[in-house]
A and B are shown apart, each in its own frame.
Chain A
Amino acid sequence: RKEVEQDPGPFNVPEGATVAFNCTYSNSASQSFFWYRQDCRKEPKLLMSVYSSGNEDGRFTAQLNRASQYISLLIRDSKLSDSATYLCVALNTDKLIFGTGTRLQVFP
């Protein structure tokens, strides 16, 4: 079983839709969590950190549920430019563990 698991998708949604991704992690000792965005043939870029209290950055909301060991990313009012792969990441001791990513395709 992978330490960080994500639905690979793709999620195909129309512009303006709300879409949510979940991610589960197996190591209860994971200290921190992040969402990264990766465009095709590009490097991963930090989208946002995930806090226990939940956090919002514009159209993006991240939540952490330690009891159930999952994190989520909600994207509201999807834009064409949101089309990318979203990587769920857990920090274990001194290493980042990456999920394989969830692909999002927003269509007009």
Chain B
Amino acid sequence: NAGVTQTPKFQVLKTGQSMTLQCAQDMNHNSMYWYRQDPGMGLRLIYYSASEGTTDKGEVPNGYNVSRLNKREFSLRLESAAPSQTSVYFCASCQSLNQPQHFGDGTRLSIL
């Protein structure tokens, strides 16, 4: 079982470039999440999707967009990358909103 798979694992971008982080889960989970983790800040929720066809903003949505492509996949897009978006990004999923979440192994993103 792969669980939650994120691609890419590492990426370096220049300011102003765009890119999409991919996330897929094979656990038939309904809810999916994108977090960023920065030193001293803990995990902060960017966007989430409670179920297929819905997306909602989290704590730090500015500069990001998401797409819940289908039940398995939830992508995060940076339209115009900024150095402040340098971070480790985690995707997570769970069966329903009150359940603990399973995390992917992260994408390390650096923006120069």
Q: Which residue from chain A places its CB closest to the CB of B97 in the assembled complex? A: A94
Interface range for B: 20 to 34
Contact A43 B42 (CB under 8 A): no
Contact partner, A95, options B41, B58, B90, B102, Cβ 8 Å: B58
User: Total number of A-B contacts with CB less than 8 angstroms?
Assistant: 46
Residues of B within 8 A of A32 (CB): 98
Q: How far is the CA of A85 from the CA of B58 in the complex (A)?
A: 24
Q: How far is the CA of A32 from the CA of B99 in the complex (A)?
A: 9
Contact B98 A100 (CB under 8 A): no
Residues of A within 8 A of B44 (CB): 98
Given contacts A43-B106, A44-B90, contact A49 B100 (CB under 8 A): yes
Asked if B101 is at the interface (CB within 8 A of a chain A CB), the reply is yes
Residues of B within 8 A of A101 (CB): 42
Contact A44 B103 (CB under 8 A): yes
Q: Which residue from chain A places its CB closest to the CB of B88 in the assembled complex? A: A41
Chain A 4-18 interface residues, beta-carbon cutoff 8 Å to B: 4, 8
Contact A96 B101 (CB under 8 A): yes
What are 6 contact pairs spanning A and B, CB under 8 A? A32-B98, A44-B43, A46-B102, A95-B45, A96-B45, A100-B40
